[in-house]
Structure 1
């Protein structure tokens, strides 16, 4: 079927921009078109998940998983928006680090075969919210991969001496000795996010015998 016959955009067909010689559109235009489709897909996933979550025949455990799926879709939407703002510095705010970290832990605990425990006290930190989520997810991904199915990962969030502390440790073989993957790239994300907030990252051996990643962030409290 002739594609031009099917077009109905409220404008003459001849007004639709085309590349000379049938060449593909520029890379930026390609990105915008793909992003448009991804945005629609995310919206559809969120809508379907919400419909199932609101259904009367869905059990409590399934509803929890669906709500986590919704949360993951919202974070993905925020990632897309951040990609569009790649020339702008991310917004930094004082927030509850334990809440953001808790969301990331809850999703990974369901999605993997690893035992993920979480302990936290109300903890404030000055950081980019999306950046903190990205950093925690990367650390958790690495920890779960190192621990392997049936392994254990422990996450703790608290504050001490004017800083927020996020500890993630696993019972795997230790840094550099686990399965290969995107660990180095993920740690690059962690370092970038934490450094932008004036914090620190330390990697050493944890109490579980594997690797421990400790992130510290300023809590923003008045001196």
Structure 2
């Protein structure tokens, strides 16, 4: 099974390289409208990230680096807000630095934000908040949807299992609770850099 998975990851790498070439061709089109150009840039950023995920899975490597949690959250918010009809916003706040594999942090936040977008629905709102207090970094993702387990079925359970494992591997904590008057709030806490 593991060999077959590595083969699929290898092939995905080739497919992503092909998509990258197509993106480059679009970038060269002088007639491409500004909004379409922005979406092409977002597609390219996502493909780079997917290639990194594939490389990380194949090589089983990923070095922790010092990075701004707010910057990673902002990139995910921009991508999610553009890709969905749901309003996705990052609340204002200060930088918060964490030593972590960027691919792991991306997977954690992307899974949680994607679940919140699905739960909120097309007319809903998702808020992402990053705070740093007393050496702890808290990330909260809140939606105004129907509440955990009450929305449309999807990959939420699988995604939350992935998030739980990744957060635990980073020494963090993960909590899901109801948001009043409606919706869900996911809270992830990490020990920040000294």
Per-residue CA deviations over 1:144-200 (Å, capped at 9, x if unaligned) read 111111111111222112112211010111112222222222111111222222211
TM-score, scaled to structure 1: 0.78
Distance, in Å, in 2 between the alignment partners of 1:48 and 1:208 is: 46
Residues 196 and 47 of structure 1: CA distance in aligned 2, closer, same or farther (over 3 Å) = same
SS class of match (2:150): coil
- What pairs with 1:1-223 in structure 2 (closer than 5 Å)? 28=3, 30-31=4-5, 33-86=7-60, 90-120=62-92, 121-206=94-179, 209-221=182-194
Q: CA deviation at 1:79?
A: 1.2
CA RMSD of aligned residues (A): 2.1
Query: Which segments of 5 or more consecutive residues in structure 2 lack a partner in the other structure?
Result: none
Aligned counterparts of 1:50 and 1:31: Cα–Cα separation in 2: 29
Runs of 4+ in 1 over 6 A off after TM superposition: none
Seen in structure 2, the aligned counterparts of structure 1 residues 58 and 207 have a Cα distance that, compared at 3 Å, is farther
2: CA distance, partners of 1:54 / 1:109: 25
Using the size of structure 2 for normalisation, the TM-score is 0.89
Query: 1 CA distance for matches of 2:32 and 2:100?
Result: 37
- Structure 1 window deviating more from structure 2 (93-102 vs 46-55): it is 46-55
Count of residues in correspondence between the two structures:
193
Helix, strand or coil at the partner of 2:91:
strand
Structure number with bigger Rg? 1
The C-alpha deviation readout for 1:15-40, integer Å capped at 9, x for no partner, is xxxxxxxxxxx972x55554443222
Distance change in 2, residues 1:195/1:44 (3 Å): same
